[in-house]
Amino acid sequence: QGKEVPYDPEQLRKISEHPCYSDKACHAFGRCHIPVAPKCNIQCNYCIRDFDCVNESRPGVTSKVLSPEESLDLVRRVVKDYPYVKVVGIAGPGEPLANPETFEALRLVHEEFPHLIMCISTNGLVLPESIEELAKYDVGNVTVTLNAIDPAIGEKIYSWVEYNGKKYHGREAAELLLSQQLKGIEMAVAKKMFVKINTVYIPGVNDEHIPEIAKKVGEMGAFTFNVIPLIPQYKFAGITPPTPKEKREMQDRCAPYIKQMRHCARCRADAIGKLGQDVQSCVYREQGK
Ligand code: SF4
Ligand code: SF4
């Protein structure tokens, strides 16, 4: 498999309590997503924006948005009532790094609960400029959705990206996004963050290309790779998604290059609890939200 990153023992101990990074931990430990990030800075051709960011979750639910202070309150209640929750993550409902509230929430939670594992997911567009601040709040786990390492394929997947107040389209948008993603992954690995790559499996668009993505990120030192079957909507509404068998076969093709995550539950941006045993409806009900 790919490049070995010299993690220290404390990091490896922590990761053994992250349900998404360790398939053993997913039965014993849980995560609490705090939905503080509604805006997004790109347009994926499989996303209709009415729901949670589908790079990390499944559509069909819209998570409510909390302020950073409300999120801190939520985390206080969750760690008290559900002590098996060891991870606080931000996965939407939009792009975490495009919302200043993400950083404020990370700061507040990390200050009060320094022992919790801090985790974010991102499309990677502003990852390079965010790395220092993420490191400051001890964010040790970063998921980057990377659907292509060839801009000719990327331009079929993204309609536009908005960077520093300017909107880019077509090949230019795909090139900019890709260069930022690769730079961000490299910087995160250099900081010894655990990097998970999500790749949406889009038949007829990037499917033949996915093992190359796995190879590249394995060589860069990413920790694990998560193949996500397309949910056909928006411009890709007419594409037939891969079957579970095709997904497994794709994971097998990628496995020589990087460890595969095979237990992703496609959680909501406000998920709380163990994977597949969410308790957020109880928590939010008690909180009167
Ligand atoms: Fe939708 Fe997430 Fe893509 Fe933004 S990054 S367009 S929220 S899937
Ligand atoms: Fe973990 Fe997958 Fe859920 Fe993200 S969507 S928290 S990777 S199980």
Q: Tens digit of pLDDT for each residue in 120-170?
A: 999 999 999 999 999 999 999 999 999 999 999 999 999 999 999 999 999
Confidence at residue 48, expressed as pLDDT on a 0 to 100 scale: 87
Q: Tens digit of pLDDT for each residue in 164-222?
A: 999 999 999 999 999 999 999 999 999 999 999 999 999 999 999 999 999 999 999 99
Q: How confident is the model at residue 60 (pLDDT cuts 50, 70, 90)?
A: low
Q: How far is the CA of 172 from the centre of ligand 2 (A)?
A: 30
Confidence at residue 279, expressed as pLDDT on a 0 to 100 scale: 83
CA distance 289 to 270: 12
Pocket around ligand 2 at a 6 A CB cut-off: 20, 31, 56-57, 91, 264-267, 275
Nearest CA to ligand 2 atom 8: 264
For the Cβ of 123 lying below 6 angstroms from any atom of ligand 1, the answer is yes
Q: Is the pLDDT of residue 40 over 80?
A: yes
Nearest ligand to the C-alpha of residue 44?
1
What is the average pLDDT across 55-63? 75
- Ligand 1 atom closest to Cα of residue 49: 1
Nearest CA to ligand 1 atom 4: 40
Confidence at residue 275, expressed as pLDDT on a 0 to 100 scale: 85
Confidence at residue 288, expressed as pLDDT on a 0 to 100 scale: 62
Q: How far is the CA of 275 from the centre of ligand 2 (A)?
A: 8
Q: Angle at CA 224, nearest 5°, toward 219 and 228?
A: 115
What is the average pLDDT across 47-75? 86
Nearest ligand to the C-alpha of residue 147?
1
Confidence at residue 165, expressed as pLDDT on a 0 to 100 scale: 95
- Ligand 1 atom closest to Cα of residue 92: 7
Nearest ligand to the C-alpha of residue 198?
2
Report whether 257 contacts 210 (CB < 8 A). Answer: no
Cα distances (Å, whole numbers) of residue 6 to 11, 160, 161, 224, 230: 10, 37, 34, 15, 34
Strand partners, 88: 32, 118
CA distance 192 to 148: 24
Q: Is the pLDDT of residue 62 over 80?
A: no
Report whether 207 contacts 251 (CB < 8 A). Answer: no
Nearest ligand to the C-alpha of residue 92?
1
Q: Name, in order, each residue with C-beta under 8 angstroms of 107's C-beta and a sequence gap of 6 or more.
A: 68, 136, 137
Q: How confident is the model at residue 54 (pLDDT cuts 50, 70, 90)?
A: confident
Q: Is the pLDDT of residue 289 over 60?
A: no
Confidence at residue 4, expressed as pLDDT on a 0 to 100 scale: 84
Question: Mapped to the 3 state alphabet, what secondary structure does the chain carry?
Answer: CCCCCCCCHHHHHHHCCCCCCCCCHHHHCEEEECCCECCCCEEECCCCCCCCCCCCCCCCCCCCCCCHHHHHHHHHHHHHHCCCEEEEEECCECCHHHCHHHHHHHHHHHHHCCCCEEEEEECCCCHHHHHHHHHHCCEEEEEEECCCCCHHHHHHHEEEEEECCEEEEHHHHHHHHHHHHHHHHHHHHHCCCEEEEEEEECCCCCHHHHHHHHHHHHHHCCCEEEEEECCCCHHHCCCCCCCHHHHHHHHHHHCCCCCECCCCCCCCCCCEEECCEECHHHHHHHHCC
- Which one of 41, 43, 44, 122 would you pick to mutate in the ligand 1 pocket, going by the greatest count of ligand atoms within 8 A of its CB? 44
Q: Is the pLDDT of residue 285 over 70?
A: yes
Q: How confident is the model at residue 235 (pLDDT cuts 50, 70, 90)?
A: very high
Two tokens, residue 224 = 């694990």
Confidence at residue 187, expressed as pLDDT on a 0 to 100 scale: 98
Domains of the chain with bracketed CATH? 9-287 (3.20.20.70)
Nearest CA to ligand 1 atom 7: 53
Confidence at residue 22, expressed as pLDDT on a 0 to 100 scale: 81
